[in-house]
Amino acid sequence: MIRVRRKKEAEKDITKQNHPVLVGFRPAYVFDVSQTEGTPLPDLSVRVRGEVGEYRERLIDFLMAQGMELEFNKSITPALGMSYGGCIAILPGQPAAEEFSTMVHKLAHEMLHKAERRIAATKTIRETEAEAVAFVVSQTIGLDAGHASADYIQRYHGNAALLAESLEVIRRTSSLILSAIETPASTAETDRDRNRLRTCTGAGQLTSSSPS
């Protein structure tokens, strides 16, 4: 005699199996982007937008005038930038606005987070201050950072209270950078400082390795 198992018994056996079991189908609708209408979705891979113009070169001039070295290095990926003692490494190939913001962020680390102050400041404080400086400088020259800076600060657990505590440091550092890049350096100073645009491997201890 052939035994016919009840439906409930069969279902129990299925739940005991160690691999997925296909139990049915249902219709679904898919669309190609060419079949859609409306405003294009934003490119979330780009954090900062806008025209940098001459500010990029002026920022590099200021950076080097502070005795720092600058290099463009693919090996730091996935980080957009890294800050060593006296050297800033930037990932090449970034959009101009993104690169500018990254460079300001790392410059802020070099200006604010050395020696005693670095020891006293937590990672959250350091990243909040550096990103806030990058935001202020970028916005002032007309770049659009959107929510990128706020998202970055929140990632490191920064908040409004911490920003308020560091407000004077952020304001002073931003003003110093802005006053420098709003006035182009002399040709002699530029030629002298550009000699420092070289590889800075081993320039010092890593002071910030976070992507930004």
Which of 21-35, 70-84, 126-140 has the weakest average pLDDT?
Answer: 21-35
What backbone torsions phi and psi does residue 4 show, to the nearest 5 degrees? Answer: -105, 115
pLDDT score recorded for residue 32: 76
98 in a structural domain: yes
137 in a structural domain: yes
User: What would the mean pLDDT of 29-52 be, rounded to a whole number?
Assistant: 73
39 in a structural domain: no
Cross-strand bridge partners of residue 69: 87
Q: Could you give the C-alpha distances from 182 to 122, 159, 199, in angstroms and in order?
A: 32, 30, 27
44 in a structural domain: no
pTM for the full model? 0.69
Q: Is the pLDDT of residue 103 over 50?
A: yes
Tokens of 50: 């806008």
**Boundaries of domain holding 196:** 55-208
User: What would the mean pLDDT of 59-88 be, rounded to a whole number?
Assistant: 92
User: What would the mean pLDDT of 95-101 be, rounded to a whole number?
Assistant: 95
What backbone torsions phi and psi does residue 117 show, to the nearest 5 degrees? Answer: -70, -35
pLDDT score recorded for residue 199: 55
What backbone torsions phi and psi does residue 69 show, to the nearest 5 degrees? Answer: -115, 155
Q: How confident is the model at residue 205 (pLDDT cuts 50, 70, 90)?
A: very low
What is the pLDDT of the chain when averaged over all its residues? 79
